[in-house]
Amino acid sequence: MPLQKVRPGTVHRLRPDISVLADSLEVPGIGHIPVNAFVLLGAEPVVVDTGLGLPDRNFVEALSAVLDPADVRWIWLTHPDRDHTGGIFDLLAAAPKARVVTTFIGAGILSCEHPLPLDRAHLVNPGETLDIGDRTLTGFRPPLFDNPATVGFFDDHSGVCFSSDCFGAPLPTADLAQADDVRDVAVEELRTAQLLWATVDSPWVQTVDVEKYLRTFDSLKDRKPDLVLSTHLPPAAGITGAMLDTLATAPSAPPFVGPDQAALEQMLASFQPDGGGP
């Protein structure tokens, strides 16, 4: 029974130095979740996250449409969830000079799947920087996250923000999920979808001190990135203020409650041509 549609990834060249390896995953009842990885062509090339590890995906091959994988110097793993680590060990093998940019916790979690040699790790905490030859990247903790190892970053040269899971949104179609511009999605539809994602991915936001939570927006408000690149949203240009306004309401959004067993059985029945059970 297919619970997800499988689609080949798409490459978008957003700027001369930034490409998106766009993919998506359908989650029944939720929508199509974008799953992006990015390539930042600084003097030392950086790959940001490594996509899905599904059997029909080949991250290193997809990456080779943008650059020779052997030239990758940094793999910025925004956090070691499995929708971000799909191609990481294959890429480490294909890119002998590459190091994984993560935190101490991130390296530890990643090593539960496969040993990460510590000389292939480079630790960057929020607020610290990475020099990639022609620019620095400054790590930050996005307002919303689902993993304690999460570190997004600002490209100090272009101002672009890489926000990890934050700002994600399930979208109605795979085409929209893999679009090169989130403005293809209607404003109100995007707001609703981002709030849904916020409550699915970061349910803790509904228990926080709202004033303290809003202060975590400060680095985004100070830097005012014109382009925000989330793993789970098409590229978002020119709408950072609106997206922060949306996230500001997450503490009081309706909590997400997942399907129960009866709903799952209904779902399974709907996948059968004869309407019967599995």
Q: Two tokens at 177?
A: 């999920």
- Provide the 3-class DSSP secondary structure of residue 107: helix
Which is nearer to Fe ion, 17 or 83 (by Cβ)?
Answer: 83
Specify the residue for token string 């040699």.
117
DSSP summary character for residue 277: -
Which residues between 155 and 184 bind Fe ion (CB under 5 A)? 165
Which is nearer to Fe ion, 41 or 78 (by Cβ)?
Answer: 78
**Least distance in Å: CB of 171 to Fe ion?**
15
49 near Fe ion, rule: CB under 5 A: no
Helix, strand, coil distribution of the chain in percent, nearest 5: 30, 20, 45
Answer for which of 17, 49, 83, 155 binds Fe ion (CB under 5 A) is: 83
Residue 106 identity (one-letter amino acid): G
| Rg, the chain, Cα only | 19
Q: What are phi and psi of 42, to 5 degrees?
A: -80, -175
Total chain residues near Fe ion (CB under 5 A): 4
Which is nearer to Fe ion, 230 or 240 (by Cβ)?
Answer: 230
**Least distance in Å: CB of 134 to Fe ion?**
28
Q: Are 228 and 243 in contact (CB under 8 A)?
A: yes
Q: What are phi and psi of 127, to 5 degrees?
A: 95, -15
Task: Give the residue closest to Fe ion by C-beta.
Answer: 81
Which is nearer to Fe ion, 69 or 168 (by Cβ)?
Answer: 168
**Least distance in Å: CB of 275 to Fe ion?**
34
**Least distance in Å: CB of 178 to Fe ion?**
15
**Least distance in Å: CB of 109 to Fe ion?**
11
**Least distance in Å: CB of 203 to Fe ion?**
13
Region of 15-23, 53-61, 138-146, 182-190 interacting with Fe ion (CB under 5 A): 138-146
Answer for which of 81, 101, 228, 247 binds Fe ion (CB under 5 A) is: 81
Which is nearer to Fe ion, 41 or 107 (by Cβ)?
Answer: 107
Buried residues in 147-184 as b, exposed as e (16+ CB within 10 A) = bebbbbbbbeebebbbbbbbbbbbbeebebbbbeebee
- Provide the 3-class DSSP secondary structure of residue 24: strand
Answer for which of 90, 128, 146, 226 binds Fe ion (CB under 5 A) is: 146
**Positions in the binding site for Fe ion (CB under 5 A):** 81, 83, 146, 165
